[in-house]
């Protein structure tokens, strides 16, 4: 096989390592889409090796493989037939079929490499160790993305205001880190390593746990709390039964718990005791590229943790507690431009600078300032502040502005939002560049909240690379009329985008487990992924809509936890009971329901959605017959894990955790691939043990 110059034992170990990497790159690519590229390299290398070295055995091995995995193959064939009998080809289902075939091929490859119990143990132990390494990499990328440190590169799959690759999938993308925690706890309980190794491992598990809390996945937090709860119960029992746990185990678990306590204590101090400026300076120190988005993400994720203990939590209040201070007009770093990444200018200079208060600092916007694009034009926003006002009263906002002589943008404007006229503009006079000008806006209020923003705009470009010159802003002022018509200053909040922070209480389902609207950002694939582009060339997405005929009504009002998961499930049951005839109930109706879900829940007939539950998903596309085979598969999975529970109990725990996540988001039996792997793994374990027993009897 690979590396023919090595001894057989060394060559086998390398092949097992490569097989482990192949599998982990594939099943963990929802955590980092870039994993697909090394996966392709390793996969095709192993396939070529398999064909060259074992070409005489492949046919016989394949026949034996089919007999071992016939149930999985039947379920894959059901998906293929359901897709074939659908009104059109769905790319999402085609992708699931490819994923299932690849997962099966992994175990075919492994059947040539891993042929004994000892080799199986080495394969699985290596698998566990590599999980920890992957969890470290994913956590590092996760922290970098959460704090907005990752650079913006075209080769990333880009999330709005994010430099992904993390988190491509907020729930399933987190699973490698949860599994990493379990692996570390497994080893510090099982092995008597040096104290320093156990200390580092326990601290690493604590860091992983901190990442889970900040990830925004409530499913992840629930699993983490269960893990911590089990540990605490065992430690408490050990206080009364000294021999229940060894001193080494109690020490290691104690270090893990103390690490968590220390992290929680530091987070509490950061939230409640650290000033806004210190928090802001910390984000700048670690090179956060978009302070606004990072602050909103942190607020949202802390809100989700807090909601587990206090159901009346308000996202707005948590964000204000974290990031809001009273504005200081003379200093952009205190309360207004301080929430943006910017350049501070002092002292100010230029013609008419005497208009600006002498001790005021300026806020510079130039080509390095973060910009966005809309309809082929580039623009940048400085969020000056948000303030609470009374209806029917006038609001006045003003700012001093300087535009350099060489500025080649198309306009620079002050805009007041949410007033009687919707939004009104006050523009800098570009005919008089090189001078300080005061821009003022006055309008009646129509809402309890108003916002002031400053916009730079350049026509016909999608970024500021061609922008020359700069703009400096200084000393913004906000006021409204009182009952006597006199103006008084307003308190300014640093909440920069009120569209994301409503005044009502935002509730969140403990088992939802979607992001709030705040965190629902559109994934933009910019045509740079060669694999995706290649697939699109082979199969074009059919946007034709084939509607359902029955009269189906679902409760569109969110439940007490503001979640539409139950509505997804209800829609599936109504499709089955009202739309399907007896034949469709028995054998399913293909995947036409994907568009129905897209129409109902995304308001778009060209998009897909699904029930977010594997049982209902399978029931719709393959009927009662398909659901029967799925339940039979689950029975076999549980049976094999139970049969070998003493030796492989950790993998059974992995399956249960993954199944918990899948229950609220899964589709076909092997979706996502991480779930598919732990579904197929016990069949492979059984096949190796059966072969070992057969050979022992023959001997």
DSSP states of 231-271: HHHHHHHHHH-TTSS-HHHHHHHHHHHHHHHHHHHHHHHHH
Q: Is 185 exposed, middle or buried (0-12, 13-18, 19+ CB in 10 A)?
A: buried
SS3 345: strand
Please give the Cα distance from 215 to 170 (Å, whole number). 7
Tokens for 353, please give them. 């600078």
Domain boundary among 465, 492, 519: 492
The neighbouring-strand residues paired with 437 are 401
Does 464 share its domain with 403? yes
Query: Where residue 391 falls among pLDDT bands split at 50, 70, 90?
Result: low
Does 394 share its domain with 477? yes
How far the first Cα of the chain sits from its last, in Å, is 27
Q: Is the residue at 317 inside a domain?
A: yes
- Please compute the mean of the pLDDT values over residues 502-531 and round it to a whole number: 34
| Residue in this structure with the two tokens 């980092």, named with its chain if needed | 32
Does 317 share its domain with 350? no
Q: Is the residue at 563 inside a domain?
A: no
Q: With beta carbons less than 8 A apart as the criterion, state whether 104 and 76 touch.
A: yes
* Longest Cα–Cα distance in the chain: 104
- Strand-strand pairing, 343-345 and 362-365: antiparallel
Does 305 share its domain with 441? no
Per-residue pLDDT, 536: 60
Domain boundary among 446, 469, 492: 492
SS3 542: coil
Residues contacting residue 237 through CB under 8 Å, at least 6 positions apart = 244, 245
Please give the Cα distance from 30 to 225 (Å, whole number). 23
Instruction: Report percent pLDDT > 70 for the chain.
Output: 78
Neighbours of 247 (CB within 10 A): 9
Q: Is the residue at 567 inside a domain?
A: no
Torsion sign over Cα 111, 115, 119, 124: positive
Q: With beta carbons less than 8 A apart as the criterion, state whether 673 and 96 touch.
A: no
Query: Where residue 255 falls among pLDDT bands split at 50, 70, 90?
Result: confident
CATH of the domain at 451: 2.60.120
Does 475 share its domain with 343? yes
Q: With beta carbons less than 8 A apart as the criterion, state whether 213 and 507 touch.
A: no
- Looking at every residue in the chain, the average pLDDT score rounds to 79
Tokens for 102, please give them. 């690849």
**Best mean pLDDT range from 366-380, 423-437, 487-501:** 423-437
Residues contacting residue 116 through CB under 8 Å, at least 6 positions apart = 688, 691, 692
Please give the Cα distance from 315 to 424 (Å, whole number). 29
Neighbours of 599 (CB within 10 A): 18
Q: Please give the residue range of the domain that contains residue 311.
A: 274-323
Does 283 share its domain with 409? no
Separation in Å, CA 175 to CA 25, 88, 201, 658, 659: 14, 33, 18, 7, 11
Instruction: Tell me the whole-structure pTM to 2 decimals.
Output: 0.75
Res. 131: pLDDT tops 90: yes
Does 315 share its domain with 342? no
- Strand-strand pairing, 343-345 and 449-458: unpaired
Looking at the structure of the chain, the number of domains it has is 2
Does 356 share its domain with 473? yes
DSSP per-residue codes, 370-390: --EEETTEEEEEEEEEEEE--
* Higher-pLDDT residue of 293, 584: 584
| Residue in this structure with the two tokens 């910390």, named with its chain if needed | 282
Give CA angle at 579 (573, 581), nearest 5°. Answer: 105
* Higher-pLDDT residue of 529, 350: 350
Q: Is 124 exposed, middle or buried (0-12, 13-18, 19+ CB in 10 A)?
A: buried
Res. 369: pLDDT tops 60: yes
Neighbours of 36 (CB within 10 A): 15
* Higher-pLDDT residue of 534, 37: 37
Give the range among 158-162, 387-391, 610-614 with minimum mean pLDDT. 158-162
Does 281 share its domain with 420? no
CA nearest neighbour of 331 among 294, 352, 350, 356: 356
Give the range among 401-410, 481-490, 588-597 with minimum mean pLDDT. 481-490
Tokens for 33, please give them. 């889409």
Give CA angle at 457 (452, 460), nearest 5°. Answer: 155
Mind listing the pLDDT tens digit for each residue in 645-689? 999 999 999 999 999 999 988 888 998 899 999 999 999 999 999
Q: Is the residue at 350 inside a domain?
A: yes
Does 305 share its domain with 404? no
SS3 135: helix
Domain boundary among 468, 492, 516: 492
Does 294 share its domain with 343? no
The HSE-up count of residue 120 (CA atoms within 13 Å, CB side) is 20
Please give the Cα distance from 421 to 444 (Å, whole number). 8
Res. 187: pLDDT tops 80: yes
Q: Say how far residue 631 (Cα) sits from the centre of its chain.
A: 30
Residue-wise burial string across 366-390, b where 16 or more C-beta atoms lie within 10 A, e elsewhere: bbebbbeeeeeebbbbbbbbbbebe
Res. 491: pLDDT tops 70: no
SS3 625: helix
Query: Where residue 161 falls among pLDDT bands split at 50, 70, 90?
Result: very low
Tokens for 551, please give them. 């009269």
Q: Is the residue at 160 inside a domain?
A: no
Q: Is the residue at 341 inside a domain?
A: yes
Per-residue pLDDT, 638: 96
Separation in Å, CA 42 to CA 7, 23, 35, 36, 665: 21, 10, 11, 10, 29
Mind listing the pLDDT tens digit for each residue in 74-116? 999 999 999 888 888 888 888 899 999 999 999 999 998 998 8
Compute, in degrees rounded to 10, the torsion defined by CA atoms 119, 120, 126, 128. -170
Give CA angle at 135 (254, 129), nearest 5°. Answer: 80
Which H or E run contains 673?
helix 673-698
Q: Is the residue at 400 inside a domain?
A: yes
Give CA angle at 449 (448, 453), nearest 5°. Answer: 160
Per-residue pLDDT, 335: 60
Neighbours of 209 (CB within 10 A): 24
Per-residue pLDDT, 503: 32
Please give the Cα distance from 429 to 346 (Å, whole number). 23
CA nearest neighbour of 381 among 439, 454, 288: 454
Neighbours of 165 (CB within 10 A): 24
CA nearest neighbour of 337 among 410, 401, 396: 401
Q: Is the residue at 485 inside a domain?
A: yes
Q: With beta carbons less than 8 A apart as the criterion, state whether 54 and 160 touch.
A: no
Res. 522: pLDDT tops 50: no
Q: With beta carbons less than 8 A apart as the criterion, state whether 161 and 341 touch.
A: no
Does 295 share its domain with 425? no
């Amino acid at each position: 096989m690979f590396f023919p110059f090595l001894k057989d034992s060394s060559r086998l170990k390398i092949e097992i390592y490569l097989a482990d990497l192949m599998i982990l790159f594939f099943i963990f690519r929802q955590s980092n889409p870039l994993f697909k590229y090394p996966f392709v390299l390793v996969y095709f290398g192993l396939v070529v090796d398999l064909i060259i070295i074992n070409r005489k055995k492949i046919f016989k091995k394949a026949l034996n493989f089919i007999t071992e995995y016939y149930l999985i193959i039947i379920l894959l064939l059901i998906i293929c037939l359901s897709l074939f009998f659908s009104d059109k080809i769905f790319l999402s289902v085609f992708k699931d079929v490819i994923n299932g075939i690849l997962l099966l091929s992994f175990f075919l490859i492994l059947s040539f490499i891993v042929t004994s119990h000892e080799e199986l143990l080495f394969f699985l132990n290596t698998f566990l160790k590599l999980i920890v390494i992957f969890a470290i990499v994913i956590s590092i990328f996760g922290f970098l993305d959460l704090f907005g440190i990752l650079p913006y590169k075209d080769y990333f799959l880009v999330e709005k205001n994010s430099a992904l690759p993390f988190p491509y999938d907020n729930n399933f993308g987190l699973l490698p880190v949860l599994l990493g925690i379990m692996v570390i706890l497994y080893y510090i309980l099982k092995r008597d390593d040096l104290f320093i190794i156990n200390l580092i491992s326990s601290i690493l598990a604590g860091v992983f746990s901190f990442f889970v809390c900040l990830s925004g996945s409530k499913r992840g937090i629930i699993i983490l709390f269960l893990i911590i709860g089990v540990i605490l119960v065992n430690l408490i029992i050990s206080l009364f039964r000294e021999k229940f746990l060894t001193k080494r185990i109690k020490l290691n678990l104690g270090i893990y718990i103390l690490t968590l306590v220390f992290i929680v204590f530091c987070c509490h101090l950061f939230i409640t005791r650290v000033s806004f400026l210190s928090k802001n300076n910390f984000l700048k120190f670690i090179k956060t590229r978009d302070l606004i988005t990072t602050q909103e993400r942190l607020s949202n994720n802390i809100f989700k943790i807090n909601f587990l203990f206090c159901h009346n939590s308000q996202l707005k209040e948590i964000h204000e507690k974290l990031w809001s201070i009273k504005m200081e007009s003379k200093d952009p770093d205190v309360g207004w431009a301080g929430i943006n990444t910017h350049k501070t200018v002092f002292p100010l200079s230029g013609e008419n600078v005497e208009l600006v208060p002498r001790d005021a600092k300026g806020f510079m916007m130039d080509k390095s300032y973060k910009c966005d694009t809309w309809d082929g034009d580039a623009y940048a926003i400085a969020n000056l502040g948000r303030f609470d006002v009374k209806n029917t009263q006038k609001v006045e906002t003003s700012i001093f502005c300087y535009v350099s002589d060489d500025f080649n943008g198309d306009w620079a404007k002050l805009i007041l939002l949410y007033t009687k006229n919707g939004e009104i503009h006050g523009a800098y006079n570009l005919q008089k560049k090189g001078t300080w000008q005061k821009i003022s806006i006055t309008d009646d209020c129509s809402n309890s909240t108003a916002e002031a923003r400053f916009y730079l705009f350049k026509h016909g470009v999608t970024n500021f690379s061609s922008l020359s010159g700069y703009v400096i802003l200084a000393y913004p002022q906000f006021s409204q009329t009182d009952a006597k018509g006199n103006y008084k200053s307003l308190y300014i909040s640093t909440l920069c985008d009120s569209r994301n922070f409503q005044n009502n209480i935002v509730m969140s389902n403990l088992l939802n487990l979607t992001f709030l609207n705040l965190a629902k950002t559109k994934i933009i694939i910019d045509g740079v992924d060669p694999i995706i582009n290649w697939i699109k060339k082979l199969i074009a997405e059919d946007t034709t809509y084939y509607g359902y005929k029955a009269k189906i009504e679902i409760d569109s009002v969110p439940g007490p936890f503001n979640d539409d998961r139950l509505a997804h499930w209800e829609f599936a049951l109504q499709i089955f009971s009202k739309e399907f005839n007896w034949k469709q109930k028995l054998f399913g109706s293909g995947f036409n329901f994907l568009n129905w879900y897209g129409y109902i829940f995304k308001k778009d007939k060209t998009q897909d959605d699904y029930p977010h539950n594997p049982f209902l998903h399978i029931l719709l596309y393959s009927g009662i017959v398909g659901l029967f085979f799925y339940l039979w598969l689950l029975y076999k999975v549980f049976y094999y894990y139970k049969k070998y529970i003493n030796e492989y109990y950790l993998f059974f725990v992995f399956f249960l955790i993954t199944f918990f996540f899948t229950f609220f988001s899964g589709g076909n039996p092997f979706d996502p691939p991480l779930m598919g792997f732990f579904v197929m793994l016990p069949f492979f374990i059984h096949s190796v043990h059966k072969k070992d027993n057969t050979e022992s009897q023959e001997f």
